[in-house]
């Protein structure tokens, strides 16, 4: 039983959420009255089992817990909190009638931050709650700083893998994703494809409009790509005015369709190109497509070389078109030397 002696309450920290766990009804009410008068929110329970249920499901800043009570006793409650609720810090004050210093240390070693002796002194409770507010505030600051650092690391990683001009994936990101696509294709015995694009007559565009306009054009092309790619497809800035489309688990026919979709999106944007030597006087793309062949080992370098050859064929055929590199057919044991192209619309 705890009497509540008269005392003066000084202003202090307010609005912490406090849980009182004590099997003595008078103690519970006294502690709740003290905490409430200090401006805190307070819940009370009569046993350790119910206290643990609330602590595991709701957020509390402070626990004022009796040492001996039904269900989970105070020291065990401390241990559970420290071992299982590591994502938040709860300031624990162990309340006991025991005067043995070794038992007090046992409670502290179990995870308690401080202790109080019964009958509780309201001033002593207030001092513990002031300390609790400071400690929990520091822990919140640490959590906030950790979250900020994690966000900064994520942002730094994203920037390191992003082309600053177009905001597409850069060469580093492209190389990582190509390596992953190749490894997956070998693991599941499937093909993957790439499409290499080049802006038609980009040097003439730069000479006519200026390099700042050329940079803006690259950004607009990237936006066209971003609106046109589908789930699973990824576009990267390959370098200069060249871009690469990665198509995991894709046949050569599917890769042609996907590449043609992007070519048409750029043509449909009708971005003016007054210095273009041939019609139409808008910005267009040429593309070369290549796919790996299941069962026939080939490196990423080989695939990019094939796509580059197909791109050269597209330019030689008049630009503003997509051409597929020849594919090896395992049943025939030879290379089909034919280039298939998708003509301009």
Is residue 331 helix, strand or coil?
A: coil
Each residue of 272-305: pLDDT tens digit? 999 999 888 999 999 999 999 887 777 899 999 9
What is the tally of structural domains in the chain? Answer: 2
- Same-domain status, 143 and 194: no
Q: Is residue 8 part of a domain?
A: no
Read off the pLDDT of residues 90-135 as tens digits, 9 standing for 90 and up. 999 998 876 667 778 888 899 999 999 888 889 999 999 999 999 9
Domain assignment of residue 9, yes or no: no
Identify whether 11 is part of a domain: no
β partners of residue 20: 44, 64
Same domain, 184 and 101: no
* Same domain flag for 144 and 176: no
Distance from C-alpha of 4 to C-alpha of 245, rounded to nearest angstrom: 75
Domain match, 190 and 260 both? yes
Q: Are residues 198 and 111 in the same domain?
A: no
In a shared domain, residues 220 and 250 = yes
Element (H, E) at 243: strand 242-247
Same domain, 274 and 137: no
What is the C-alpha separation between 228 and 230, in angstroms, rounded? 7
Domain region containing 252: 171-342
In a domain, 23, yes or no: yes
For residue 241, indicate whether it is catalytic.
yes
Contacts of 268 (CB under 8 A, 6+ apart): none
**pTM greater than the 0.75 cutoff:** no
157 belongs to a structural domain? no
Write the CATH number for 195.
Answer: 3.30.70.270
**Residue 208 is assigned to a structural domain of this protein:** yes
176 and 139 within one domain: no
Instruction: Please indicate, yes or no, if residue 1 is contained in any of the structural domains.
Output: no
Q: Specify the CATH number for the domain of residue 106.
A: 3.40.50.2300
Residue 166 falls inside a structural domain: no
162 pLDDT more than 60 = yes
Which structure tokens are listed for 221?
Answer: 């092309």
**Last residue of some domain: 149, 179, 205?**
149
In the set 73, 83, 175, 241, the catalytic residue is 241
CB 127 within 8 A of CB 34: no
251 and 117 within one domain: no
Residue 185 φ/ψ, nearest 5 degrees: -60, -40
pLDDT at position 228: 95
Shared domain for 49 and 142, answered yes or no, is: yes
Question: Which string of b and e fits 252-282 if b means at least 16 CB within 10 Å?
Answer: beebbebbbebbbbbbeeebebeebeeeeeb
For the chain, the helix, strand and coil percentages under 3-state DSSP, each to the nearest 5: 45, 20, 35
* DSSP summary character for residue 10: P
Same domain, 77 and 175: no
């Amino acid at each position: 039983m705890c009497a509540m002696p008269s005392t003066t309450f000084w202003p202090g920290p307010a609005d912490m959420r406090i849980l009182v766990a004590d099997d003595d009804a008078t103690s519970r009410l006294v502690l709740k009255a003290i905490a409430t008068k200090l401006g805190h929110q307070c819940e009370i329970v009569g046993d350790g089992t119910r206290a643990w249920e609330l602590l595991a499901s709701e957020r509390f800043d402070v626990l004022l817990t009796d040492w001996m009570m039904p269900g989970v006793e105070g020291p065990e409650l401390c241990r559970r909190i420290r071992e299982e609720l590591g994502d938040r810090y709860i300031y624990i004050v162990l309340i006991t009638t025991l005067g043995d210093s070794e038992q007090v240390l046992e409670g502290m070693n179990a995870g308690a931050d401080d202790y109080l002796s019964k009958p509780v002194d309201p001033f002593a409770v207030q001092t513990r709650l002031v300390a609790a507010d400071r400690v929990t505030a520091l822990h919140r600051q640490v959590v906030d700083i950790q979250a900020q650092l994690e966000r900064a690391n994520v942002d730094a990683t994203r920037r390191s893998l992003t082309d600053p001009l177009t905001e597409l994936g850069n060469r580093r990101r492209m190389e990582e994703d190509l390596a992953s696509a190749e490894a997956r294709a070998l693991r599941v015995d499937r093909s993957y494809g790439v499409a290499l694009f080049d802006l038609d007559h980009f040097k003439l565009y730069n000479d006519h409009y200026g390099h700042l306009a050329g940079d803006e054009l690259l950004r607009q092309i990237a936006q066209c790509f971003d609106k046109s790619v589908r789930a699973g497809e990824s576009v990267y800035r390959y370098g200069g005015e060249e871009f690469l489309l990665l198509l995991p688990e894709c046949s050569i026919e599917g890769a042609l369709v996907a590449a043609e979709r992007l070519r048409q999106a750029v043509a449909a944007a009708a971005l003016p190109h007054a210095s273009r030597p041939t019609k139409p006087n808008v910005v267009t793309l040429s593309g070369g497509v290549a796919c790996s062949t299941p069962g026939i080992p080939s490196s990423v370098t080989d695939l990019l070389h094939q796509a580059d050859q197909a791109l050269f064929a597209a330019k030689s055929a008049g630009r503003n078109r997509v051409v597929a590199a020849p594919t090896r057919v395992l049943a025939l044991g030879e290379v089909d030397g034919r280039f298939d192209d998708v003509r301009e619309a």
